[in-house]
Chains A and B, each alone.
Chain A
Amino acid sequence: MTTYIIRRLIIALIILIIVSLIVFFAIRLLPGDPLIIFLGQQATQGGISQAELEHLRELYGLNDPIMVQYGNWFWGILHGDLGTSLYYHEDVGVLMGDRFPLTLHLGALAFIINIVVGVLMGVAAAIRRGTWIDSVTTTLANIGVCIPVFWLAILMIYLFGLKLSWLPIAGYTSPFKDFWLNTQQIVMPVFCMAITMMATTARLSRSSMLEVTRQDYIRTAWSKGLRERNIIMRHALKNGLIPVITLLGIGLGMVFAGSVFVETIFAIPGVGRLLVTSIFAQDYVVIQSGTLVIATIIILSNLLVDISYGWLDPRIRYG
């Protein structure tokens, strides 16, 4: 088991390095003088003299060979220096640190709802295959996968915010300051994120459980006289949920993707919104570091997923 973990860890690190390379070089592939890009609007307005530009060029290390630049940047990252935002003029680390809890709050809730409801629906549909439970669940899941998360958000705002005035349509106050308000504020964003994820989870759980129930060892279990509940819980589920664990990895990605829209529409200052504003502000420092942080989180979570595969499926531990 340990060798398995170590191998997975090394692969994850390699992938991280590749990601950092991609992130770093993607931005430098842009046409034009990188210094101008880095300085953004100011430089192009012609407010800075040539000499100052040269000075800044040195300061930013842009005269060094590109690999050295990469090295410096990477070294900085390892020491927690994520750079200074061009737009906000703040340390990126601080910026992200402020926003992370919000995204985490929404994401975690959405994720939990997604797993609980999605898996239940999928498993129920599988073990009651062909009945109305199956048809309804499958149809809902199939439709759910097609709903654009931003459109759903707008729909909910229209219905619950504008027409019925049940819920606030924007903003986020800390749950520690005003728990009730916070709860009202997050209901819609969390549900938007959850519903799109739920559909995928339900589909995957269903197809996975269906596969499992067709297996020989399930037939053996029936022949032993066990009851259905026992067979599902002990024999089928553990096998059937293995692919669902993959969803935990994908789910995190979906949370980030969803947060981009949900936070923008509901005006919640989280990581997703930061990414969007940075893109429009052409704040490459934030884009660079932010992407790396998100990628790191996703890769680490995929690593955890891989490891839990090993724990769940004894055959893999030695593979």
Chain B
Amino acid sequence: MAELLRVNDLVTQFKTESGLVKAVDGVSYYIDEQEIIGLVGESGCGKSVSQLSIMQLISAPGEIAGGEVIFEGQNLLKYEANGPQMRSVRGAKIAMIFQEPMTSLNPVLTISQQLTEMLQLHMKMNDDTARKRAIELMSMVGIPGAENRIDDYPHHFSGGMRQRVMIAMGLSCNPKILIADEPTTALDVTTQAQLLELMKDMVQRFRTSLIIVTHNLGVVARYAQRIYIMYAGRIVESGTTKDIFANPHHPYTIGLLKCIPRLDEEEGTKLVPIQGLPPNLINMPSTCAFLPRCSYRLEKCAREPWPPLTPVNGNHYISCYANTKEKSK
């Protein structure tokens, strides 16, 4: 499958009163057609900001300070932030759904209005066609009685239902890429599972690529083909899902996996949390950000700048100096 989107060395920073926060500090990744990738990391690691940057949805005091986003042969970052070219990409070519279904829909507009406006804008449909298509979409995402509910307001729907509406909105104009920013974090476990299955079905149906941004490794384990692990604004490990789960190399990934209870573990095995606290992103030092929490650290790690992404085998890259496979800790 051809490559669809490539992000090179994206840097997004925020000027705060305490200092400069490099929320995204040189992030590179790519996604192919009809692929599902996962972007995993803890809160504050920059994963959401990186996706908002692609769509140029960053506003003051944040700014995109460097890098390129190559999509359909063009660098999206070269477009004026809210200009006509960027706007023709948003929603129509790259769509996004957000974390908070309760607040991401406009409370004073009906679902019909919020769905049809995209169809009318990007697909140039007239009122009737747009409405019919909107009802179709709502049925597709599993909202019963769509024809009657389409004129309801967001507060008539539960969180899970609203998220389904967001999915319908996201896919309504057949985008090439759908970015799902922590789509299920705010929902209960059962709904989470349903929604993820739905998303997988829909993107397969629409032949859309999907970027799932989450802090939950379990979510990407099942659905993503490749995973990027982020820490403190950078990618520290990347590879196919199988590879990463079977053969994690970066100390952070190893730590993450040790935190997750597994069905196939021996009884009595302890969960090992990662020691230390998440880093303060203000005025970060140039050395590896994971250093304070790392049990594999070398003397080298304190001297050298943040290690570049190097391949360990095939498509599996890590950003680490230590050889974690030699030690068994």
Contacts and interface: CB of A to CB of B under 8 A. Distances in A.
Would A and B touch once assembled, by the CB under 8 A criterion?
yes
Interface of A: 130, 215-217, 219-228, 230, 234-235, 238-239, 312-315
A228 B82 CA distance: 8
Contacts of B107: 217, 239, 313-315
Nearest to A218: B106
Interface in B90-122: 90-92, 95-96, 98, 100, 103-109, 113, 117-118, 121-122
Contact of B153 (A216, A234, A315): A315
Contacts of A220: 98, 104-106, 166
Contacts of A312: 108
Given A215-B103, A225-B88, A314-B155, A130 B82 contact: no
B167 interface: no
Contacts of B90: 222-225
A217 B169 CA distance: 13
Given A220-B106, A234-B109, 11 more contacts: A216-B104, A217-B105, A223-B91, A225-B87, A225-B122, A226-B117, A226-B121, A234-B117, A238-B108, A239-B106, A315-B155
Contacts, number: 75
A221 B55 contact: no
30 contacts: A216-B103, A217-B103, A217-B104, A217-B105, A217-B106, A219-B98, A220-B104, A220-B105, A221-B106, A222-B57, A223-B57, A223-B96, A223-B98, A224-B91, A224-B118, A225-B90, A225-B92, A225-B121, A226-B87, A226-B117, A227-B82, A228-B82, A234-B109, A234-B117, A235-B106, A239-B108, A313-B107, A314-B107, A314-B153, A315-B107
Given A219-B98, A220-B98, A223-B95, A313 B55 contact: no
B169 A224 contact: yes
A223 B88 CA distance: 10
B210 to A, nearest CB: 15
Contacts of A223: 55, 57, 90-91, 95-96, 98
Contacts of A215: 103
Interface in B35-62: 55, 57, 60
A80 B305 CA distance: 87
Nearest to A314: B153
Contacts of A224: 90-91, 95, 117-118, 121, 169
A313 B106 CA distance: 11
Contacts of A217: 103-107
Contacts of B103: 215-217
A221 to B, nearest CB: 7
Nearest to B89: A225
A227 B120 CA distance: 13
A296 B96 CA distance: 51
Nearest to B55: A223
Contacts of B100: 216
Contacts of A216: 98, 100, 103-104
A227 to B, nearest CB: 6
A227 B89 CA distance: 12
Contacts of B98: 216, 219-220, 223
A223 B57 CA distance: 7
Nearest to A215: B103
A310 to B, nearest CB: 12
A234 B121 CA distance: 14
A220 B82 CA distance: 14
Nearest to A130: B60
A108 to B, nearest CB: 28
Interface in B118-149: 118, 121-122
B108 A225 contact: no
B106 A225 contact: no
A245 to B, nearest CB: 13
A315 B122 CA distance: 30
